Amino acid sequence: MLIVTHDPLVAEQVHRTVRIRDGRTSTEGLRHPAAPGAGGGLTAQEHTVPDRVGRLQLPRESTESLGLAHRVRLVLAAGHIEVWPDRDQPRPDGAGG
């Protein structure tokens, strides 16, 4: 069954959600039963979904809180990719980076 909704309360009732942003799949949420002793219910993990050429849509809350705008630096580290703000870019508030 496929449910399409904008209601977060409805989305919390299913085990898998797929979010679409700007016409593209952006995140996939997976809910699993909570660990014993954790009060029951479901625990959720949200995953960013790369598109067919490897682009990622990062959550707006994350990019804004970290000052990720204009350009970012990607660093390949052991087992993961780090995303860093480009400190050489002028900030929108006019302050130095």
Q: Are 25 and 38 in contact (CB under 8 A)?
A: no
Phi, psi (degrees; rounded to nearest 5) at 50: -65, 145
Q: In the 8-state DSSP scheme, what is residue 41?
A: S
Domain coordinates of the chain in residue numbers? 1-49, 58-97
Instruction: Walk along the chain (97 residues) and give the pLDDT tens digit of each residue.
Output: 888 888 988 888 888 888 888 888 888 888 887 777 766 676 778 888 888 898 888 888 888 998 888 888 999 999 999 999 887 655 555 554 4
According to the model, what pLDDT value does residue 44 have?
78
CB 97 within 8 A of CB 89: yes
Indicate the pTM of the whole model.
0.54
- Cα-only R_g, the chain: 17
Q: Measure the CA–CA gap between 97 and 85, rounded to whole angstroms.
A: 9
Task: Look at residue 79 in the predicted model and tell me its pLDDT.
Answer: 94
